[in-house]
Amino acid sequence: MQLGDARSGKLPDNVTGFGRALRRAGVPLDSSRLALALRSAQLVGLERRDDLHAALRAVMVSRQQDLDVFDQLFQAFFRNPELAQQLLAQMLPKVREAQPPQRKARVQEALAPPRLPGQAPPRQESQVQLDAAMTASTLQRLRHADFAGLNASEYRLIEQLVREVPLDLPPITGRRTLPGRRGERPHWAAALRQIRQLDGELLWLPRRERRPQPLPLLVLVDVSGSMERYARLLLAFLHSATRGRPCAAYAFGTRLTDLRPAFRLRDSDQMLAAASAAINDFAGGTRLGESLAALRQGHARQFVGRRTVVLLISDGLDTGEPEALASEMAWLKRHCRQLFWLNPLLRFDGYAPLAQGAMVLHRHADAMLAVHNLSRLEDLADAMARLLQRRPR
């Protein structure tokens, strides 16, 4: 089928408008992918709607978490052949339905019509601007908003705010020493120097005290589908909060992924891009027992001296064998200083770990902490500091 000249036909404008909507929804898309999408549409033709959908999806989506967004936007934009003019204006087509379909917040924001210059915002919608002119009420609402319920603009704003949240943890005493007045070991070299300077007199006995050092952290983050909205924000938070502190990060889903090379990058955006490229099992389920077995077999040196604090970020919805998970969790608990379970499901009142995997995590963890909003992240450091002062079980 001949689609017509690009200078007079509507297909290039439709594909370009569709690409703008995808970018507004947070899908990474550049001009080369738009050109490839137009070429693909010309090759498959417009006779079959499912062929066009498959062709555009293959060339315009590069991440697993963007597939649902693409499908919902495609259904909204290519609903009828009279949508070309609305595509150019980035407006949602009007469909008369008794119950409108439920769409993700990113899709709803991308389909919202743009405002003209000088036009007042709609009264029934509250908009969040990505600048410093936010009102106190808006910021207060976002501090207590669940990460899973944010739209695209709010999600980008919270992603910037979590990078400024500190994680000040008390230091531990290392094995190396330095000169001090309250140490347990005498500093004989300094005592001999004092005797030589004072003609054989020793006024006070110099001592050596153990040198304080930052607490080493081990981060295990769940990248299954139920943790989609939390994994990226928590990785950005920990990357910024642990800068200058010994920290090792691993992602687990159906397999274990080493994120230490990504965490060595200084910029958080580059770290997230490198982590996304390294993770191959995103949204593929959770098998924590097998991942911990891989950690024990290949990365056991992270636990030398039992000084490492483990931050396990997961909702506990494990699909593996509970016996294998219990065995690996027991090994992990024996080789770390303390084990903290950061559980986003604590956003629900009356939550109880009733799933088999959650019961195993709850039995071996020293504490279960909430990390589902910005306010909880701000209180995380104080909660961990109080728990670290207690003697581990």
**2-11, 22-31, 309-318: range with lowest mean pLDDT:** 2-11
Provide, rounded to the nearest whole percent, the portion of the chain with pLDDT above 90.
30
Tell me the pLDDT of the chain averaged across its residues. Answer: 81
What is the spatial distance between Cα 325 and Cα 195, in angstroms, rounded to a whole number? 61
What is the structure's pLDDT at 99? Answer: 52
Chosen domain end from 213, 242, 263: 213
Are 310 and 245 members of one domain?
yes
What is the structure's pLDDT at 173? Answer: 79
What is the structure's pLDDT at 119? Answer: 55
218-236: b or e for each residue (b if 16 or more CB lie within 10 Å)? bbbbbbbbbbbbbbbbbbb
What is the spatial distance between Cα 135 and Cα 161, in angstroms, rounded to a whole number? 15
What is the structure's pLDDT at 97? Answer: 46
* 244-249 mean pLDDT: 90
User: How would residue 110 be classed by pLDDT, with cut points 50, 70 and 90?
Assistant: low
Are 179 and 236 members of one domain?
no
Chosen domain end from 83, 110, 137: 110
* 101-126 mean pLDDT: 56
Structure-model confidence comparison of residues 67 and 328, the more confident one: 328
Domain interval for residue 197 = 172-213
Residue 176 predicted with pLDDT over 60: yes
Within a domain: 165 = no
User: How far are the Cα atoms of 1, 106, 222, 385 from residue 338, in angstroms, in the given order?
Assistant: 66, 38, 19, 12
What is the structure's pLDDT at 391? Answer: 54
* 201-224 mean pLDDT: 87
Are 180 and 238 members of one domain?
no
Q: CB 267: neighbour CB atoms within 10 A?
A: 10
263-302, pLDDT tens digit by residue? 999 999 999 999 999 998 877 788 999 999 999 999 988 8
Are 356 and 299 members of one domain?
yes
Residue 219 predicted with pLDDT over 90: yes
Are 203 and 290 members of one domain?
no
Are 179 and 316 members of one domain?
no
What is the structure's pLDDT at 28? Answer: 86
Are 181 and 269 members of one domain?
no
Structure-token pair, residue 214: 């930052």
The single-letter code of the amino acid at 309 is V
Within a domain: 347 = yes
293-314: b or e for each residue (b if 16 or more CB lie within 10 Å)? bbbeeeeeebbeeebbbbbbbb
Q: Provide the CATH number for the domain around residue 363.
A: 3.40.50.410
Say which residue the tokens 């209180």 belong to: 379
For residues 267, 272, 273, 277, the Cα torsion angle rounded to the nearest 10 degrees is: 140
Structure-model confidence comparison of residues 120 and 55, the more confident one: 55
Chosen domain end from 213, 239, 271: 213
What is the structure's pLDDT at 168? Answer: 85
Within a domain: 151 = no
Report the DSSP beta bridge partners of residue 73: none
156-175, pLDDT tens digit by residue? 889 989 999 988 888 877 77
Are 302 and 321 members of one domain?
yes
How many structural domains are present in the chain? 3
Q: Which of 74, 166, 148 is nearest to 105 (CA)?
A: 148
Residue 8 predicted with pLDDT over 50: no
What is the spatial distance between Cα 78 and Cα 73, in angstroms, rounded to a whole number? 8
Within a domain: 203 = yes
What is the structure's pLDDT at 100? Answer: 52
Are 54 and 181 members of one domain?
no
Structure-model confidence comparison of residues 301 and 219, the more confident one: 219
Are 295 and 205 members of one domain?
no
What is the structure's pLDDT at 306? Answer: 82
Are 371 and 224 members of one domain?
yes
Are 369 and 288 members of one domain?
yes
Helices and strands counted in the chain (H then E): 16, 9
Say which residue the tokens 């274990």 belong to: 256
What is the structure's pLDDT at 15? Answer: 85
What is the structure's pLDDT at 107? Answer: 64
Structure-model confidence comparison of residues 112 and 295, the more confident one: 295
